[in-house]
């Protein structure tokens, strides 16, 4: 029977369940990655499981988020992570070595392997034909312990590419074009698989840009086949022996097919404040900007920097704005320095930022008050940049470079530039900033280093049979994990200290939320469509759990956040009649009866609003393993009771 590439990889890793779309299944995980903003908690959770060493082929701990080290807290986390890597058999990518997704693509990714990462942009690995999935840190900790990763079997959507891109149109414009039609929730429960004659012209870094931003579709992941482009990339990394050819069967069947003629793709820009608000750049051309940022895990490869430098060479950025460029890895930075790319960027007036996530997560290079910033990043959620009232536009490196010269949003096709790019950068792999695992006997003698900001991971409580609690907050649609648990330089250092971090839950939407939640003792959150989209940060479930949130009622949930709620014992409930949302208000007292019986039998939950005496029905969509996790009070308690090995 003809198969998609997705199903081929899933079948090779199937540990439990079947591939019927909508059914639960568990898959074996070959590789994991964590980053420092989520990794500290993940390794605290791994420690609590009592496992002596990771049971994956490769696990890597990266430091790329909290690199400012403005006080002791970031550095304390990094020392803890390095000691945990040494103790548990994990590779450790040191501060300054680069962004986890870029480095993993360069040094560890292998076609046909499964990768689970505690970062929502882990699907970057799909550019290398990996089945790469973002998840909460607790799911990654369980995978490191050898447990399968459970998900709902997705639909596979085929994206058929034909033609080739015009000059100064790039991979970023392809994914923004797709986002404009598919929307930020259109990919929920789906995997996007790219095929067709058009893929041959796309390099692995270009493919990785597309799969990286597939996360903004809400998709489980996205992936390309492994072909000659894949082989060439691995050869450039001196890893050609890792290459295997992989592709879908010619007559593979997809749930549906999206046709994209690359020759018709034009420069695109995502308007504030959602990645799917994408329009052709020509529609917003001429808008004055104050800042341009090039980098992030989406557009920081050596080819991205080469395209940028070629447009800026011999010119100066507009005097009204600031341009920042962040290479994706130390390897990229070194290649840029040797080839002349870095010199041309510096001479143009660009500021060279650290090879880290930086501005993408609000860690430095924030826009001015009310400013308009053009960024080659993957998200433009309100306030994510570090400036609450800034307007963030997402564009390609070519559009960013052209606009940096003119001071206004500019279609790069409208400017004349010197022909050709003669840098010829050569990537010279250097793993000197990656510390390999120790021998088991030596690892067993390592003691974890804990600073005063590192607190134990709090555990959830078993779901009660009856819950009577107030609606602490009513939100609208497309609430992001940035809205729930903000990032930024003031809050990210608290990721290893849940009691301190909990004070900031929903602070950008409602500064009094944590106070009301603690006063209530137990509470409920009411959300709209696509609640919890965006980052994989489990802190958006963990901190509300610490504050006493027992249930979230929403019209629909983003995949990763729903899984995180279950992992920490919070009921994710959807309304059987979406119109009931309008009849509920913040402050209403709700009674939910027969919760444990409903989890056991898979029946709807009958709820009553005591405030207006209205009744309504809720569904949890949990069965088997997920229902048992909620009954236990979360995944840590479930594992602790020996329910999962």
**pLDDT surpassing 80 at residue 417:** no
Distance CA 295, CA 365 (A): 12
Domain segments of the chain: what residues?
5-264, 268-414, 467-640
Q: What percent of the chain has pLDDT over 70?
A: 98
Residues forming a β-bridge with 114? 131
Instruction: Give burial (CB, 10 Å; 0-12/13-18/19+) of 31.
Output: buried
Which CATH homologous superfamily contains domain 467-640? Aconitase, domain 4 (3.20.19.10)
Q: Give the position of tokens 């994914």.
A: 175
**Cis ω on the peptide bond leading into residue 629 (within 30° of 0)?**
no
CB contact at 8 A, 484 and 564:
no
Q: Which residue stretches of 448-594 are H helix?
A: 481-484, 498-501, 513-520, 539-546, 559-567
3-state helix, strand, coil in the chain (%, to 5): 35, 20, 45
Instruction: Give burial (CB, 10 Å; 0-12/13-18/19+) of 389.
Output: exposed
Band (69; pLDDT cuts 50, 70, 90): confident
Give the CA distances from residue 524 to residues 173, 368, 477, 507, 540, in Å, rounded to whole numbers and listed in that order. Answer: 40, 36, 17, 17, 14
For 451-510, the pLDDT digits (tens) are: 998 988 888 899 999 999 999 999 999 999 999 999 887 888 888 899 999 999 999 899
Who's near 103: CB < 8 A, 6+ residues apart? 62, 93, 97, 328, 329, 331, 434
pLDDT at 641: 56
What mean pLDDT is predicted for residues 256-274? 98
- Residue 86: name the closest of 440, 431, 438, 433 by CA: 438
Structural tokens at position 596? 């444990």
**pLDDT surpassing 50 at residue 378:** yes
CA atoms within 13 A on the CB side of 340: 8
> What b-and-e string marks burial along 68-103, b requiring 16 or more CB atoms within 10 Å of the CB?
eeeeebbbbbbbbbbbbbbbbbbbbbbbebbbbbbb
pLDDT at 493: 85
The DSSP-derived string for 396-420 is: -HHHHHHHHHHSB---GGGS---S-
The CA-based angle 407-411-417, given to 5 degrees, is 85
- Residue 85: name the closest of 105, 107, 58 by CA: 58
**pLDDT surpassing 90 at residue 156:** yes
Who's near 445: CB < 8 A, 6+ residues apart? none
Q: Average pLDDT of the chain?
A: 94
H-run or E-run covering 197? none
**pLDDT surpassing 70 at residue 258:** yes
What mean pLDDT is predicted for residues 556-569? 95
- Residue 146: name the closest of 61, 50, 74 by CA: 50
Residue 640, Cα to own-chain centre: how many angstroms?
Answer: 28
What mean pLDDT is predicted for residues 160-166? 98
Distance CA 603, CA 582 (A): 24
Band (363; pLDDT cuts 50, 70, 90): confident
For 418-446, the pLDDT digits (tens) are: 655 689 899 999 999 999 999 999 999 99
Could you count the other beta carbons within 10 Å of the beta carbon of residue 366?
Answer: 18
CB contact at 8 A, 180 and 209:
no
Distance CA 504, CA 484 (A): 9
pLDDT at 645: 45
Q: Among 52-56, 213-217, 221-225, 385-389, which stretch is predicted with the lowest mean pLDDT? A: 385-389
Rounded to the nearest 5°, which phi and psi values hold at 134?
-85, 145
Structural tokens at position 303? 């080819």
The answer as to CATH 3.30.499.10 being correct for domain 268-414 is yes
| pTM beyond cutoff 0.85 | yes
pLDDT at 643: 52
Distance CA 382, CA 379 (A): 9
What mean pLDDT is predicted for residues 180-184? 96
SS3 readout for 106-118? HHCCCCCCEEEEC
Residues forming a β-bridge with 195? 160
Q: 5-264 adopts what CATH topology?
A: Aconitase; domain 3 (3.30.499)
What mean pLDDT is predicted for residues 178-188? 95
CB contact at 8 A, 353 and 359:
yes
- Residue 317: name the closest of 308, 326, 330 by CA: 308
**pLDDT surpassing 80 at residue 24:** yes
Asked, colleague to colleague, whether 5-264 and 268-414 share their fold, the answer is yes
pLDDT at 640: 66
Q: What percent of the chain has pLDDT over 90?
A: 89
């Amino acid at each position: 029977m003809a198969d998609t590439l997705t199903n081929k990889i899933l079948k090779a890793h199937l540990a439990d369940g079947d591939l019927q779309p909508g059914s639960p299944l568990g898959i074996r995980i070959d590789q994991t990655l964590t980053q420092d903003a989520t990794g500290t908690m993940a390794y605290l959770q791994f420690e609590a499981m009592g496992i002596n060493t990771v049971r994956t082929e490769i696990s890597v701990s990266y430091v790329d988020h909290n690199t400012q080290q403005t006080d002791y807290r970031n550095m304390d986390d990094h020392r803890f992570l390095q000691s945990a890597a040494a103790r548990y058999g994990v590779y450790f990518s040191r501060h300054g070595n680069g962004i986890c997704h870029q480095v993993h693509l360069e040094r560890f990714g292998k076609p046909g392997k499964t990768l689970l990462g505690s970062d929502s942009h882990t699907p970057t690995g799909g550019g290398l034909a990996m089945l790469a999935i973002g998840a909460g840190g607790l799911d990654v900790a369980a995978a490191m312990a050898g447990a399968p990763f459970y998900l709902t079997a997705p639909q596979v959507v085929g994206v058929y590419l034909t033609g080739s891109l015009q000059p100064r149109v790039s991979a970023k414009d392809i994914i923004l074009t797709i986002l404009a039609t598919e929307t930020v929730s259109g990919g929920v429960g789906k995997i996007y698989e790219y095929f067709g004659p058009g893929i041959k012209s796309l390099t692995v870094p270009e493919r990785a840009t597309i799969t990286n931003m597939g996360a903004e579709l809400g998709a489980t992941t996205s992936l390309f086949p492994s072909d000659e482009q894949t082989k060439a990339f691995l050869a450039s990394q001196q890893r050609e022996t890792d290459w295997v050819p992989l592709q879908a069967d010619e007559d593979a069947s997809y749930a549906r097919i999206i046709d994209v003629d690359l020759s018709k793709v034009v420069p695109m820009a995502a308007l504030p404040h959602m990645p799917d608000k994408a329009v052709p750049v020509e529609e917003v051309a001429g808008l004055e900007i104050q800042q341009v940022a090039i980098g992030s895990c989406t557009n920081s490869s050596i080819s991205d920097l080469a395209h940028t430098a070629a447009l800026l060479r011999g010119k100066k950025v507009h005097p009204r704005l600031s341009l920042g460029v962040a290479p994706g890895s130390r390897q990229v930075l070194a290649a840029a320095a040797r080839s002349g790319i870095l010199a041309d960027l510096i001479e143009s007036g660009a500021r060279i930022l650290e090879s880290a996530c930086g501005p993408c997560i609000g860690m430095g290079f924030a826009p001015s008050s009310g400013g308009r910033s053009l960024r080659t990043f993957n998200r433009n959620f309100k306030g994510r940049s570090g400036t609450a009232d800034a307007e963030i536009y997402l564009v390609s490196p070519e559009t960013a470079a052209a606009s940096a010269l003119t001071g206004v949003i500019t279609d790069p096709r409208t400017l004349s530039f010197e022909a050709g790019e003669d840098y010829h950068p050569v990537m010279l792999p250097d793993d000197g900033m990656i510390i390999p695992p120790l021998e088991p006997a030596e690892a067993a003698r390592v003691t974890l280093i804990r600073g005063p900001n590192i607190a134990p991971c709090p555990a959830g409580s078993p779901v009660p049979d009856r819950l009577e609690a107030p609606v602490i907050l009513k939100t609208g649609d497309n609430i992001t994990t940035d809205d729930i648990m903000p990032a930024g330089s003031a809050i990210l250092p608290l990721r290893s200290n849940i009691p301190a971090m909990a004070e900031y839950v929903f602070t950008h939407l409602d500064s009094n939320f944590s106070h009301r939640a603690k006063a209530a003792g137990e509470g409920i959150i009411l959300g709209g469509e696509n609640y919890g989209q965006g980052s994989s940060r489990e802190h958006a479930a963990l901190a509300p759990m610490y504050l006493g949130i027992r249930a979230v009622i929403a019209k629909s949930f983003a995949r990763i956040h729903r899984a995180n709620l279950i992992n920490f014992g919070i009921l994710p409930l959807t309304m059987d009649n979406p119109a009931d949302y309008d009849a509920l208000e913040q402050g209403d007292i709700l009674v939910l009866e027969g919760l444990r019986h409903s989890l056991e039998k898979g029946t709807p939950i009958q709820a009553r609003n005591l405030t207006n005496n209205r009744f309504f029905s809720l569904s949890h969509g949990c069965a088997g393993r997920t229902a048992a996790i909620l009954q236990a009070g979360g995944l840590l308690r479930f594992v602790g009771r020996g329910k999962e090995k």
